[in-house]
Amino acid sequence: MLPSLFIAHGAPSLAIENHAYTDFLKGLEAELPKPKAIVLFSAHWESREQQVSGAESYETIYDFSGFQPELYQVEYPASGAPDLAKEIQSLFQEHSIPTKIDTDRGLDHGAWVVLHLMYPTADIPVIALSVNRYLSNEEQYRIGMAISSLREQDILIIGSGGTVHNLRRLDWGASGVNEWAAEFDGWLDEKLRAWDVESLFQYEQLAPYAREAVPTTEHFIPLLLVMGSGDTGKKATLLHRSYQFGSLSLSCWRFD
C-alpha cells in the first residue's frame, strides 16, 4: 500500500530553485513505487463543494505574478483519468460528501510545482481535488478517510500546502528560522507523531502561535486531508523540514 504525503509547495519559484528541499523532492520518486495515478489536494483550488478534476488533459495555470520569466515557461502536461475521477466521486458520495466533477480546470501551481519536481516526465495520470476552508477540521479528516482505499490500488494521495504559511511575516533576509514558526511546527510534530487528532482538530486554540502560522486555513487543510487517508495505519513520519525567509515551512510528512 502506498503512503499518503503532505508536501509543502512553498513559493511558485520552488519549481526552478536548487537547494536541499528541491533535491529532496527530486529524490522522492526513487523512494516510492511508481503509482498508477496521483490524487492531489491543492491549497490553491478552493471550493465550498468538493471538486474532482475529470479532465482528460491539463493546461498549466500560472496563478501568480511577479516571478522570474523562466517560471512562466515551465509546463506540466499531465494527463487526467476521467474514470478514476468518477470512482472518487462515488467514494465521496458513499460517505455523504457532496461532490462535482470539473472537466475544464487546469493544474494550479499548488499541484504542478510539486509534481514537476517529483515526477518531471509527467507520465502519471493526475486527479486534482479542491479544498473547502469552511468545513471543520474533523470534516477535513473524514474527507481523507473517504478515499483511503485508493492507496490499495497503488494510487498516491498528496496534500499540497504548508504548515507555516504567513506571507506577511516573511523575512527576506533571514538565514535561519523564526522562533515562533519553529515552536508551532514543534507542537505539530508532537501531535502528528502521537496521532493526537483530538488536539489537532483544535490546533487553532491549542497550538502556540497558531494564528501567526496559519492566518488562513487553506494551506493547512491538505495536511488534515492526507492524514485522514492514513487513518488505518496511524503512522506519521517527518521526511524533511527546512525554512525559507524565516518562517516559510518546507516540510514533507508521510502517512502510513
pLDDT by position in tens, the chain (length 256): 999 999 999 999 999 999 999 999 999 999 999 999 999 999 999 999 999 999 999 999 999 999 999 999 999 999 999 999 999 999 999 999 999 999 999 999 999 999 999 999 999 999 999 999 999 999 999 999 999 999 999 999 999 999 999 999 998 888 899 999 999 999 999 999 999 999 999 999 999 999 999 999 999 999 999 999 999 999 999 999 999 999 999 999 999 9
Which distant-in-sequence residues (6+ apart) come within 8 Å of 10 by Cβ?
21, 113, 162, 244, 248, 250
Strands, E assignment, the chain: 4-8, 37-46, 50-53, 99-102, 126-131, 155-161, 236-244, 248-255
pLDDT of residue 173: 85
Residue 174, pLDDT score: 86
For residue 87, which of 22, 147, 19 has the smallest C-alpha distance? 147
The reported pLDDT for the residue numbered 192 is 98
Q: Between the CA of residue 55 and those of 61, 134, 239, what are the distances in Å?
A: 14, 26, 31
For residue 175, what pLDDT is reported?
A: 82
pTM, 2 dp: 0.97
Show the cell assigned to 154: 497503488
Q: Which residues of 103-205 form beta strands (DSSP E)?
A: 126-131, 155-161
Question: In angstroms, what CA-CA distances link 58 with 49, 51, 128, 245?
Answer: 21, 15, 10, 32
For 4-255, CATH number?
Answer: 3.40.830.10
Residue with cell 483544535: 202
* pLDDT the model gives residue 210: 98
Rounded Cα–Cα distance for residues 212 and 109 (Å): 23
Classify residue 200 by its DSSP letter. Answer: H
Report the run of H or E that residue 203 belongs to, with start and end: helix 203-206
